[in-house]
Amino acid sequence: MPERQTEVCRTGFMNHLTTETFDANARAALADVQLRGALRKATTLFGKHRLAATRGLENWEELRTQARAIKDEVLLHLDQYLAQFAGNAEKRGAQVHWARDAAEANQIVCRLARERNARKVVKSKSMVTEEIHLNDALQAEGIEAIETDLGEYIIQLAGETPSHIIAPAIHKTKKQIAELFTAKLGIEPTDDVAQLTSAARRVLRRRFAAADIGISGVNFGVAETGTILILENEGNIRLTTSLPKTHIALMGIEKILPRFADLDVFLKLLPRSGTGQQLTTYQSLITGTKQKPEDEGPEELHIVLLDNGRSRMLAHPVTRQSLACIRCGACLNACPVYQQIGGHAYGSVYAGPIGAVITPQLIGLGKAAQLPYASSLCGACREVCPVKIDIPELLLYLRAEITEGGRQEAGGRSSRQAVKQHISERLAFKIWAAVMARPRLYEWSARFGRGLQRFIVRDGTIGKVGALLTRLAPPLGAWTSARDLRPLATRTFREQWRGELANQNREVKS
Ligand code: SF4
């Protein structure tokens, strides 16, 4: 997967974002007040809805454990389940294609389109097609690809890339979308959501009717039956997969479930974790092609199974768990880093905590060495993950890989920066641990720090000059560039405690 170059012209906070410029991207995002407002509102709402939905299910924890066990079983025997899935899908009329990487997947889709003289395709939201940059490949063939999910359609009109797995246009405010529709669709300016959606619907309905091919992603593939399941709320997937004569479904090889009955577990987890719904409005279960003229569905179904680095993740028990991800987006909404900077800063189609572990494994640590450090390791992602992926463990594993140079690509500037940052962090924590382990030294340091801060503290807060100084002073500047420095307490807890004991003793004596 080549790293992505993105232009975010509307908000103007970033240009040419790549995985290698994460630090700069993040700084630019932090300075964008509008972006942060939109993110705060959306992620808070998603978080609240998720919590309400999960509390309504008594056996939530049990389901999470069950889901993880199913995923672990699949990943241990992935070759067998994939062969079973392909065999059963082909028995029902589907054609299965195997793609080792993004280039091969794009070639397969473009060849299928060429063979059918296709000029127009409709696409439903699919992270895998974003991962392989399928739209660019189709465009190079002179084929027009139209996104039909409303969020994806908005960002396609804006010339951007998705910034969230579930809500691609999460970074946009209603006002920005209204202005975009006026500029691109020529509608009267309005901020009425119903009018905006109906303007998009009018355009998209015509596109569905004219499309030669429908392209979709896949949420789950069932080995037992060869069925694919795609979830949605807008009805656009139903139309994409049933109106055009040919349907091409792109699916990462990790999306397999062994049995049809396993869907019961994942259908309870995914909508609740993603949008806080008990179930999405539509669930399209597609098993092969239509058999009789009166049946619904495509005459041709092609399923492209994509590896693109996933086999590498399978090889190690720690990295293997990355493939259990069901792309619900809950970890993004819960992540304090994502909440502040949004998805574009990651420079990759996969953002947030799961993006910080998947992207470096897909494109190589050398090209994405800053991403595993884009975390405070607070563990919020692990808490919310419906399949119990231990993302902090993965982040630490990847950091260790970077510093030890296990898979580091030689000479990468970003890798060197990450190593430098890691070394200075380790040194800082070593000093911190040494001070904390020696009570006298700790007290002396606190007194020394309080003495020093007299020059920069005014009325109990760090004054403007002080803030500027701390921002400039390396390595403290790296911390204070995005955070406010608080002054040290005038008395430490230990001093207060000693004072309290002295008072009590005095009271006892008197
Ligand atoms: S890692 Fe877990 S929480 Fe994050 S998107 Fe994947 S399944 Fe959802």
The three-state (H, E, C) secondary structure of 432-466, written as one string = HHHHHCCHHHHHHHHHHHHHHHCCCEECCEECHHH
Site to probe by mutation for ligand 1, drawn from 257, 326, 382 as the one with most ligand atoms within 8 Å of Cβ, is: 326
If phi > 0 it is left, if psi is from -120 to 50 it is alpha, else beta; for residue 93 that is: left
Distances (CA, A) of 368 to 284, 351, 393, 407, 412: 35, 12, 18, 12, 10
Per-residue pLDDT of the chain (510 residues; tens, 9 = 90+): 433 333 333 334 444 678 888 988 999 999 999 899 989 999 999 999 999 999 989 999 999 999 999 999 999 999 999 999 999 999 999 999 999 999 999 999 999 999 999 999 999 989 999 999 999 999 999 999 999 999 999 999 999 988 898 888 988 888 999 999 999 999 998 989 999 999 999 999 999 999 999 999 999 999 999 999 999 999 999 999 999 999 999 999 999 999 999 999 999 999 999 999 999 999 999 999 988 887 878 899 999 999 999 999 999 999 999 999 999 999 999 999 999 999 999 999 999 999 999 999 999 988 999 999 999 999 999 999 999 999 999 999 999 998 877 444 444 555 566 667 677 778 888 998 999 999 889 888 888 888 888 877 877 777 776 667 666 676 667 667 667 777 888 888 888 888 888 888 888 877
- Ligand 1: residue of 273, 337, 359 to mutate (most ligand atoms within 8 A of CB) is 273
> What's the pLDDT at 11?
39
**In the prediction, which pLDDT does 132 show?**
96
pLDDT of residue 458: 76
Measured from the CA of 322, which atom of ligand 1 is nearest? 1
What was the pLDDT predicted at 416?
Answer: 66
Query: How many angstroms separate the alpha carbon of residue 280 from the centre of ligand 1?
Result: 17
For ligand 1, say whether the CB of 74 is within 6 Å of any of its atoms.
Answer: no
Q: Specify the pLDDT at position 409.
A: 47
Q: Is 329 in the pocket of ligand 1 (CB under 6 A)?
A: yes
At residue 14, the pLDDT reads: 43
The answer to whether the CB of 351 is under 6 A from ligand 1 is no
Compute the distance between CA of residue 137 and CA of residue 103 in angstroms, rounded to an integer. Answer: 9
In ligand 1, the atom with minimum distance to the C-alpha of 353 is: 4
Q: Which of 275, 389, 393, 394 to mutate to test the pocket of ligand 1 (most atoms within 8 A of CB)?
A: 389
Q: Is the CB of 39 under 6 A from ligand 1?
A: no
| pTM for the model | 0.81
Q: For a substitution probing ligand 1, which of 71, 331, 338 has the most ligand atoms within 8 Å of its CB?
A: 331
3-state secondary structure of 351: coil
pLDDT of residue 125: 87
Say what the pLDDT of residue 378 is.
96
Question: CB neighbours of 353 closer than 8 A, spacing ≥ 6?
Answer: 331, 332, 335, 337, 338, 375, 381, 391, 395
Query: Cβ(328) to ligand 1 under 6 A?
Result: yes
Q: Is the CB of 389 under 6 A from ligand 1?
A: yes
Q: Whose CA is nearest to atom 8 of ligand 1?
A: 328
Identify the pLDDT of residue 482: 65
| The pLDDT of residue 472 | 64
Q: Which residue's CA lies nearest to atom 4 of ligand 1?
A: 331
3-state helix vs strand vs coil in the chain, percent to 5: 55, 10, 35
Nearest ligand 1 atom to alpha carbon 326: 7
pLDDT at residue 408, rounded to an integer: 47
Distance from Cα 329 to the centre of ligand 1, integer Å: 6
